[in-house]
Amino acid sequence: MTLKDAGTLACPVCCGTLEFHGTLTAGMLLDGALRCTRCARDWPVRDGLPRLVDEARVRRADRFMRACYDWLAPLHDPMTRALFPPLQGTSEGATRDAYMRRLDLGGLRPAERGERRRILEVGVGSGANLPLLDRDLPRDVDVELWGLDLSDAMLARCRPRLAEHPGHALRLLVADAHALPFPDASFDRVFHVGGIGGYGDPARGLAEMARVARPDTPIVVVDEQLDPASGESLFHRLVFRALTFYTTTPTSPVAHLPAGATAVVSEQLSRYYYCLTFRMPGPEA
């Protein structure tokens, strides 16, 4: 992450601008702190990774899920590849392709005045969506990719992946989805895959995604829900309950959408996964 990148961040507590104080290497942040110009709070940067999390405000449910992902990180991708087809009734690739279509990356157009389009993945995990972004982004559009996660172990799995896909640099940071460290209307696309069901406050998470998205941009959320339209076997129902042990109501969070959400589509992608897409109108709407 460069100094310019850091200048586009915001304090997750007061939304003030941040200034870096510390060590640079080849123009990239290495170690130090991002200091808020409004509340004077310091947010550490370690080994090039900004840590914009107010631990005092992280909910108990999110601490629990972070511990689960930290433990599961080495097994997450191999288990997904091995178990997805027999459990989901479709391939992992087909499911990922379906929600990527909802992002409408092909609809992005070059920005004016030399600016870049910006895409945010909330809960980037091991970076499994990075090759799909590289594949689907228009070649004539200058794009910044941002990814954040609360799990250090998952981000540790993501960082080596960046070298495999140098087409678009991915700016990584540690952050809480309930308090995104960005100004309002910062991104042209916002998406999240596979975690909101475990959020301590899913309504707050959705509101934050809506806040940082520019008006009328697609916001895409994917997580677990048992397909209500098909009768599943006892085996699949039991497996689903085991996978969703963290919540008693694993379902598409349509009821938690921010007021005024438009173009709402909630669809089933596979036996266990839904895709919720919505947009937020501009202030003139």
Note the pLDDT of residue 79: 92
pLDDT recorded at residue 9: 98
Residue 284 confidence (pLDDT):
67
Domains of the chain with bracketed CATH? 3-47 (no CATH), 57-279 (3.40.50.150)
Residue identified by tokens 């998406």 is 191
pLDDT of residue 184: 97
Q: Are 158 and 117 in contact (CB under 8 A)?
A: no
Report the C-alpha gap between 127 and 50 in whole angstroms. 17
**Can you tell me whether residue 150 is helix, strand or coil?**
coil
- Determine the pLDDT at residue 168: 77
- Take residue 243 and report the two structure tokens written for it: 């996978």
238 CB-near residues (< 8 Å, 6+ apart): none
pLDDT score recorded for residue 229: 82
Do the beta carbons of residue 124 and residue 175 sit within 8 Å?
Answer: no
The pLDDT of residue 282: 82
* pLDDT of res. 180: 98
Q: Mean pLDDT by 10-residue block, N- to C-terminus, for the chain (285 residues)?
A: 95 96 95 98 97 96 96 94 90 95 96 89 96 93 96 95 79 98 97 96 98 97 91 87 92 97 97 97 74
Take residue 218 and report the two structure tokens written for it.
Answer: 């697609």
pTM of the model: 0.96
Q: What is the reported pLDDT for 94? A: 94
Integer Cα distance of 261 and 254 in angstroms: 10
Q: Which residues pair with 25 in a beta bridge?
A: 28
Report the phi/psi class of residue 76: left, alpha or beta, with left for phi > 0 and alpha for psi in -120 to 50. Answer: alpha
